[in-house]
């Protein structure tokens, strides 16, 4: 599974233009706004923190990283423990600790949440609901929950925290069937930056073990 591609949910959900605060958010206006803003952008760059709580052991790990995205289906996610790159055709997953890169063909599947797939397939793929609003030190956020309709999905549920005035996603939480909960928090985001296609290619460092699954 392209685990880190779930970060793509941040990108389309955070592409909202600023607007007036929405006191009573509904699923229809949130998803419609997400699609409209996503259609208007070409790329984005974000910094984030990632916290993983493993279900069976309750062990917690925390990382920070950067995410770059460019339409269509180009991603680069870098953290201290992994670099994941795709140009929409090939995927490179590089582990600096193991000095190994796994290469595979890019595939959209039921366990992948990319912006394009999410927006197009939301009604047919997920049960979705607005859980309500929460107060933060910034402002009011709307909380959106998604549950896959496919009982065989590796992902059990996804929650998004969306600022109701700026329409920026500040947090996304993913729970899988192993009860592992991964939480991503966005720190900064730049839309329509200067992002070249070369960023979405990967050349393994010298001495890297290459595993090609294509």
Q: Are 79 and 63 in contact (CB under 8 A)?
A: yes
CB count within 10 Å of CB 161 equals: 22
Query: Mean pLDDT, to the nearest integer, of 178-203?
Result: 88
Give the closest residue to 6 by CA, choosing from 187, 156, 152.
156
**CA gap 126, 140 in Å, rounded:** 25
pLDDT digits (tens, 9 = 90+) for 63-83: 899 988 888 888 898 988 889
Task: Report pLDDT for 108.
Answer: 64
CB count within 10 Å of CB 96 equals: 14
158: Cα within 13 Å, side-chain hemisphere: 27
* Domain range summary for the chain, segments of one domain joined by +: 3-212
| 184 confidence band (pLDDT: 50, 70, 90) | confident
Global pTM value:
0.74
pLDDT of 95 > 90? The answer is yes
Task: Report pLDDT for 144.
Answer: 86
Which residue carries 């796994």 as its tokens?
Answer: 102
pLDDT digits (tens, 9 = 90+) for 4-60: 344 444 444 444 333 334 445 677 777 676 666 677 778 888 888 989 999 888 899
- 3-212: CATH topology: outer membrane lipoprotein receptor (LolB), chain A (2.50.20)
The H-or-E segment that residue 11 falls in is helix 8-13
């Amino acid at each position: 599974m392209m685990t880190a591609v779930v970060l793509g949910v941040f990108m389309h959900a955070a592409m909202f233009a600023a607007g007036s605060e929405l006191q009573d958010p509904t699923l229809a206006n949130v998803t419609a706004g997400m699609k409209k803003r996503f259609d208007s952008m070409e790329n984005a760059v974000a910094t984030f923190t990632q916290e993983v709580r493993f279900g069976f052991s309750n062990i917690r790990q925390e990382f920070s990283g950067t995410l770059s995205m460019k339409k269509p289906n180009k991603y680069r996610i870098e953290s201290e423990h992994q670099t994941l790159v795709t140009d929409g055709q090939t995927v490179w997953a590089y582990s600096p600790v193991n000095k190994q890169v796994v290469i595979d063909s890019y595939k959209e599947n039921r366990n992948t949440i990319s912006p394009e797939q999410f927006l197009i397939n939301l009604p047919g793929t997920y049960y979705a609901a607005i859980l309500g609003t929460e107060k933060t030190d910034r402002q009011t956020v709307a909380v959106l929950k998604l549950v896959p309709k496919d009982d065989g999905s590796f992902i059990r549920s996804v929650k998004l925290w969306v600022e109701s005035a700026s329409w920026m996603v500040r947090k996304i939480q993913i729970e899988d069937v192993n009860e592992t909960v991964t939480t991503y928090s966005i720190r900064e985001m730049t839309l329509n930056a200067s992002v070249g296609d070369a960023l979405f290619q990967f050349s393994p460092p010298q001495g890297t073990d290459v595993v090609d699954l294509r």
